[in-house]
């Protein structure tokens, strides 16, 4: 069930049986102290906490620490389960790169309309971005 900030802080979820309730926090709910306190209480009371729309918005760290369920978009789900869509083609390039299967990287890159050299630059850029996020959150860089 979707919950706004007002519903969370107002304790509306306590009117429902916690063993049957999944509290889905909407993407526009801030992770302020009152909201986090309410979520901790719900979780301690047996409610599951889910985050809404985590693929298109980056949820605040406080919510990630509480979340039991992280929904993904249908496009991401399809790609991860082997379906054919644009994200799957990108995922195939990443998997091939990680395995060092350079012929597969070239073929997958060509299917995306990219040159192998572009894949290397974009892969490095993605790693640097991921490292900057990890550094910002943990204070420790991730080795790449």
- Domain boundary assignment for the chain: 2-66, 74-138
Please, are residues 51 and 35 in contact by the beta-carbon 8 Å criterion? no
Q: pLDDT digit string (tens) for 77-118?
A: 788 888 888 888 888 888 888 888 989 888 888 888 888 788
Instruction: Report if pTM > 0.75.
Output: no
CA angle at 40 for the pair 37 and 42, rounded to the nearest 5°: 110
CA angle at 128 for the pair 122 and 133, rounded to the nearest 5°: 125
Q: pLDDT digit string (tens) for 70-85?
A: 777 788 878 888 888 8
Q: What is the mean pLDDT of the chain?
A: 82
């Amino acid at each position: 069930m979707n919950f706004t900030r007002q519903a969370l802080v107002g304790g509306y979820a306590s009117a429902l049986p916690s063993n049957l309730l999944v509290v889905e926090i909407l993407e526009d709910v801030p992770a302020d102290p009152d909201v986090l306190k309410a979520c901790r209480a719900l979780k301690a009371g047996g409610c599951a906490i889910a985050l809404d729309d985590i693929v298109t918005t980056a949820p605040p760290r406080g919510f990630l620490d509480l979340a039991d369920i992280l929904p993904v978009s249908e496009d991401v789900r399809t790609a991860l389960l082997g379906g054919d869509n644009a994200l799957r083609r990108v995922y195939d390039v990443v998997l091939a790169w990680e395995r060092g299967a350079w012929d597969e990287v070239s073929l997958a890159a060509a299917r995306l309309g990219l040159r192998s050299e572009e894949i290397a630059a974009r892969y490095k850029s993605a790693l640097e971005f991921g490292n900057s996020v990890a550094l910002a959150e943990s204070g420790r860089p991730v080795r790449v």
